[in-house]
Structure 1
Amino acid sequence: MLPLAGYLSEIDVHPQSVYVLHEKVERRFSMHTHEKGQLTYVEGGIAYCNMPDRSYVVPARHYIWVPKHQQHYMQIRHSKATTIRNLYFYSHNDHLHPFYSRLGIYPVNELLQQMIAYSARWERHVLPGDPGFSFLSAIKDILPEISTTALPVALPTTQHERLRPVLLYIAQHFDQQLTLESVSHEFDLSPRTLSRLFTNILNMSFVQYLKTLRVVKGIEMILQTNQTLSEIAYQTGYSSIAAFSKVFYQLTNKRPSSFQQGIY
C-alpha cells in the first residue's frame, strides 16, 4: 500500500486517466487540490466535505462532485461504518458541460449506484485503452443528465477571531432556544454587532445559520441513530416534528422522513 502522500501525488500523474481509490484514504488527506474532477460516493453513514470557507454535508446514497482545483478535504465524524468511494476523472473535456465546473451534492439512483459498485474491480490508474476505461468514462458522461437537483446544505465556516468562538458556542448549544439576543449577551456583544458579523463574514443571517446547523445535525442523527423524528426534532431545538420538517424542507427540498426511509 502506498504511503498517504503517495496516493495524493499519484492522482495527477496521468492526466488522461480515471483514478480509482476505494481504500479509506481520501478521508485522511488534509486540505488539497488536484487537476482532476472528483466523485465521492457516500455508501452509508454521513461524510463532510470541507472547503476553506464552508462545510458540505454528504448523506448516505449521495455523491459530491468536486471540480478540479477546488480546495477540500473529506471528513468522517464518529462513524467507522461510513464508506466512501472515490473516482478522479480526467478534466480535458470538462468544458463540454457546465456541470463539471460546479461543486454539487446529488442523490444516487439505482443505475449510478450499480455502476459505482462495479468500479470496485479496478484500482488506481485506468488509462485510455485499458479494460474498464470506457465503462468508467461512461460514469462521468451520464452525471450531467442524471444529476439535476443538488442538495443545498452548506455550513459556512470562518477563522475570524470574534465570530469563530460564537460558532463553536452555537454548535455546542444548538438544541437550546438560542436567539440573536441571548447569544449576543453571552459574548458581550450587541445584537446589531453580532448580526453584522454573520452577514459580513458568512454572508448569512444568524437565523439562517442556526437553521442550517440544525438541519445538518438532524441529517446526522437520522442517518446514524435509531431515534424517532420526534426525538430528533426536540434534540435539534424544535418543539414539534412539523416545525423541524418545515425548516428541513426549506433547506433541502426533501422531508426528513425521506432520509429516514432511504428515499432519495
Structure 2
Amino acid sequence: MGNPKKILNMDEVNKPYFVWFEDNWRHDDVLHLHEKKGQLVYVESGFQYLTVEGKMYLLPQNHAAWIPPHALHKTNSHSERIRLMIMFFNVDTEDTFYHQIHVFSVPPVLKEMIRYAEKWSMNTTENNDENIFLKALYNELPNFVADSIQLHISLPQDKRLTQAINYLNTHYNEDLKMEDLSDIASLSLRSLERIFKKETGLTLIKYQQMLRIIKSLELLSANEWTISEIAFQVGYKSLQAYTNSFQSVMQYRPSDFVKSL
C-alpha cells in the first residue's frame, strides 16, 4: 500500500474477500474504519504499530492482527523495510470472535496459507477458487488465534495524564520514581495511580514494563544487537531480569522470538 489511494474505499470493492500484499508498505497516519469488512494484517518482515479504538499495539515480525469491522484504526511503521500481507473479509456472522481485535503469533499452517494467497493480490474481479480458499482461512481464524497475546497499551483520554505519559514514553528505560511522575502530572501520587489505572487498565509499573517489552521487540526485529545488549538498552539491569519480564508478557523467551525471525 505504497499509495493507499490506489484503490477505492475497501467497502466499495464488490467481492467478499480481497488480498493486498506489498513490499515497503506505507499508509498515511490517519484514523479510518471499514463498515463491512474485517481485516487480517500479517507482518512477514519488519514491525508495525497499530492503533485500534484508542489502544496501541505492536505487530512484530511473524505476528498478525485481526481488526473487526467498524473499528477505528490506523497503522504506521518505523521499519526501513516492511512486508505486510493484508486480507479483507466481509463479516457476515454474529460470532463474537470476528467483532473483537486479536493480536497473535502466526502458526506455520496459517503462514503458508497467507503466502499462497499472494497470487490473488490486488485482484478486483471475483474468483471462485479465491473465494473458496479465503473462506476456509476466514472460518479457521478462531482456531489459529489460540495464542492471542495482550501486547497493547491503552491510550488515556484524560488530559491530566498527558505529561506523565509523554515522560514515561521517553524515559521508559530509566529507574522512575513515581513521586516524580506525580509532580509532572501535578497530581497526588494516589490520584495519579487511581486515574492511570482507570484510563489504561495498567499500573504505572506495568505500563513501564509493557513499554520496555514493546521497544525490545522492535529492537529484536532489527537483528542488530544481542539479547543482552537489548536488555540493557530498554532498562533492565540483567539479562535474567529481562528474560523473566519478557516471558511474563509474551509467554515465551526472547531467544524463542529471535529464532522465529
Q: Which runs of 5+ in 2 are unaligned?
A: none
**Residues 187-230 of structure 1, C-alpha deviations (whole Å, 9 max, x = no match):** 44432232123123223211111111111111111111421221
- CA root-mean-square deviation: 2.3
Rate the CA distance shift 1:13–1:29 in 2: closer, same or farther, 3 A. farther
CA distance in 2, matches of 1:100, 1:158: 25
Rate the CA distance shift 1:193–1:208 in 2: closer, same or farther, 3 A. same
- The correspondence for 1:185, drawn from 183, 186, 202, is 183
Paired residues, what number?
Answer: 259
Contact 2:42 2:85 in 1 (8 A): yes
CA distance in 1, matches of 2:163, 2:223: 28
Residue matched to 2:50: 49
**Could you tell me which amino acid in structure 1 is paired with residue 205 of structure 2?**
V
Equivalent position SS for 1:248: helix
Contact 2:102 2:145 in 1 (8 A): no
Residue matched to 2:84: 84
Contact 2:61 2:221 in 1 (8 A): yes
Rate the CA distance shift 1:188–1:20 in 2: closer, same or farther, 3 A. same
CA distance in 2, matches of 1:195, 1:120: 47
Tell me whether 46-55 or 195-204 shows the greater mean CA deviation: 195-204
CA drift of 1:6 comes to 5.8
Q: Is structure 2 residue 158 aligned with structure 1 residue 160?
A: yes
Percent of residue pairs identical: 28
**Could you tell me which amino acid in structure 2 is paired with residue 19 of structure 1?**
F
1:32-71 map, 5 Å: 32-34=32-34, 35-71=36-72
Contact 2:33 2:71 in 1 (8 A): yes
**Could you tell me which amino acid in structure 2 is paired with residue 69 of structure 1?**
H
CA drift of 1:123 comes to 3.1
Residue matched to 2:11: 12
Residue matched to 1:104: 102
CA distance in 1, matches of 2:84, 2:136: 20
**Residues 232-263 of structure 1, C-alpha deviations (whole Å, 9 max, x = no match):** 11111111111111121221212111112217
CA distance in 1, matches of 2:255, 2:25: 32
CA drift of 1:26 comes to 6.7
**Could you tell me which amino acid in structure 2 is paired with residue 65 of structure 1?**
W
1:85-164 map, 5 Å: 85-92=85-92, 94-95=93-94, 97-124=95-122, 130-164=128-162
CA drift of 1:150 comes to 0.4
Contact 2:25 2:82 in 1 (8 A): no
**Could you tell me which amino acid in structure 2 is paired with residue 18 of structure 1?**
Y
CA distance in 1, matches of 2:75, 2:8: 13
Rate the CA distance shift 1:210–1:29 in 2: closer, same or farther, 3 A. closer
Equivalent position SS for 1:132: helix
Contact 1:67 1:101 in 2 (8 A): yes
**Could you tell me which amino acid in structure 2 is paired with residue 106 of structure 1?**
F
